[in-house]
Structure 1
Amino acid sequence: MPLEAMPLKAEQLETIDYRAPDSAQQFVNSLRNTGFGVLTNHPIKQSLVETIYAQWQTFFDSDAKQAYLFSTETHDGFFPADVSETAKGNNVKDIKEFYHVYPWGRIPDELRENILNYYDQANALAAELLSWVEAYTPADIAANYSMALPKMIEESQRTLLRILHYPPLSGAEELGAIRAAAHEDINLLTLLPAANEPGLQVKSKQGKWLDVPSDFGNIIINTGDMLQEASGGYFPSTTHRVINPEGADKSRSRISLPLFLHPKPEVVLSERYTAESYLMERLRELGLI
């Protein structure tokens, strides 16, 4: 059945069973309609994610993170809150700190095994999901891809795993600051296991903010700007944000593990951009270079 014949219900994000016989088509249809897909019963073990959350919470709570300050040349390592991102079109920094993991980058020895295990598993799942996108892209849209989508990421050294720490709120935050202001991602696809606290929202086509299902064990995938660019807008890069908690939840940290699937730098996305030129433009806009 063509994708367009299977619209999602208005203003609703549905959870898709990874093991269902039509999961690939359901997933790509969800990306097409909302920019997001939420999978359950996927192959990444919840126990591994829970262990990583606990290990990295300890790291962010310690002074050890200061020994791993990020490199401006390679962008691996720890990014403290005072150099955090400012979302495109905003002038207030997000309330967060984070660590960039690449297999070739600096990683604390005691955290290396689990985080690289997760990196490999998440990267493999992301590659599979990108092949689903390729399979269900209409022929006239796919004709504009400079190469098959899975080829774009073969042996890529740019795919980034970010460990995000949203600290408890103190009440002294800058006026208007939230944990992650409304933004779109730069890359092809982003994979995110449901965080240890809710707060992720996506903006619907009707302009309404919707809560993304945050049941622990779900994995959330969204389209990034590079896939939107390569598909001529067929797959939208949807605006999303992480809102501040209320009540007792203000005292709790939030950890999340987005994997940003990036093509090789030389990959041609469109007549306007290579992956490298697009990435550099966006990093400048975010204030990270």
Structure 2
Amino acid sequence: MTEIPSVDLALFVDGDNHSRASFVEQLGKAYEEIGFVAVKNHGLSDELRDRLYDKVQQFFSLPADVKARYEIPGLAGQRGYTSFGKEHAKGHNKGDLKEFFQFGQWVSGPVDGEVYPENVYVAEVEGFNEVAREVYKTLETTGIHMLRAIALYLGLDEFYFDSWVHNGNSILRAIHYPPITREPDDAVRAAQHEDINLITLLMGASAEGLEVLNKKGQWIPVTALPEQIIVNVGDMLQRLTNNVLRSTTHRVVNPPKDKWHEPRFSIPFFLHPKSSMPLNCLPQCITKQNPKAYPDITAGEFLDERLREIGLKQ
């Protein structure tokens, strides 16, 4: 496979039984083969996307000392600002060439016994939190539709994931890759990695650079068309399906030298379940040819483990 397959979510959400079954099969096969798809009719308007990108660029243009006030100790970067170079890919020591800001679930009180941190309000950028919340809720709905199709492909009840992701630990991350001002050592904007969560929904970034590794070891550039978002499998879903669905390695490479002066902005939505969700390999995904690959673990335990591996938690 040398390009990312494209799917039309309207076939599943609004289609007849034949259209829905066709979408489920197409999505499942793509996730078995490469783990990434481009999705159209996803529900996020260009106008809302552009409003958020405008707010994001305003935030990252603030002075460093102002941004630093929004970096909250003890939250492992799960809310608010994380400064440049702090996060690195699993297995890498060099910090990625990025800074980011994260929004989490808007809930009050505990969720299944767990208390989520409050979101960090940015006073200097009017409407930043409000627009982010609107995008968060929109992509959460899109992600639920995608998970329903995935559930059907796996032979589960269509709504298997619904209760686990309702008020789940999902994250909307606004990323800024600043202009490159000197020859990097061996750091890139984001070293090769796999995402932690169930699925990731990525609206079009402001510059090229995202690449996906296919089964032949080839790096494939990924550029979503204006009407598409990219949705890929994360490690939690790979683990749940005992490697049937692939959490594909991807990276964000540095641009050619003549484009070093250009910043890059990217806004992924990491769809997480509640921490109590078991990620035990599904029985139907365990066979003689595909024996159980992972010990039992919950989503919360797995997230905690990975946050330590990427340098956000001590």
Please indicate, yes or no, whether the TM-score normalized by the shorter chain is above 0.5: yes
Contact kept, 8 Å, 2:212 with 2:249, in 1: the verdict is yes
Shift of 1:159: 0.6
The equivalences for 1:1-289 within 5 A come to 10-20=1-11, 21=19, 22-63=22-63, 64-73=66-75, 75-83=78-86, 85-102=87-104, 103=106, 104-109=118-123, 110=126, 111-137=128-154, 139=155, 142=156, 148-156=160-168, 158-173=169-184, 175-270=185-280, 271-289=295-313
Shift of 1:184: 0.4
Secondary structure at the counterpart of residue 31 of structure 2: helix
Unaligned runs of 5+ in 1: 1-9
- CA distance in 2 between partners of 1:82 and 1:256 (Å): 16
1:4 match: none
264-273 or 204-213, which deviates more:
264-273
Shift of 1:41: 2.9
**Counterpart amino acid of residue 233 in structure 2:** T
1:196–1:73 Cα change, 3 Å: closer
10-19 or 185-194, which deviates more:
10-19
22-31 or 262-271, which deviates more:
22-31
- CA distance in 2 between partners of 1:135 and 1:164 (Å): 33
**Counterpart amino acid of residue 68 in structure 1:** Y
- CA distance in 2 between partners of 1:169 and 1:37 (Å): 30
Unaligned runs of 5+ in 2: 12-18, 107-117, 281-294
**Counterpart amino acid of residue 165 in structure 1:** H
1:82–1:33 Cα change, 3 Å: closer
- CA distance in 1 between partners of 2:72 and 2:216 (Å): 39
Shift of 1:172: 4.5
Contact kept, 8 Å, 1:101 with 1:161, in 2: the verdict is yes
**Counterpart amino acid of residue 87 in structure 1:** A
- CA distance in 1 between partners of 2:218 and 2:46 (Å): 30
- CA distance in 2 between partners of 1:127 and 1:118 (Å): 14
**Sequence identity of aligned pairs in percent?**
33
Counting matched residue pairs gives 271
- CA distance in 2 between partners of 1:53 and 1:169 (Å): 20
- CA distance in 2 between partners of 1:107 and 1:212 (Å): 33
**Counterpart amino acid of residue 302 in structure 2:** Y
Contact kept, 8 Å, 1:196 with 1:216, in 2: the verdict is no
- CA distance in 1 between partners of 2:46 and 2:258 (Å): 25
Secondary structure at the counterpart of residue 201 of structure 1: strand
- CA distance in 1 between partners of 2:85 and 2:5 (Å): 36
**Counterpart amino acid of residue 60 in structure 2:** F
**Counterpart amino acid of residue 172 in structure 2:** L
Contact kept, 8 Å, 2:84 with 2:97, in 1: the verdict is yes
Contact kept, 8 Å, 2:189 with 2:253, in 1: the verdict is yes
Shift of 1:205: 0.6
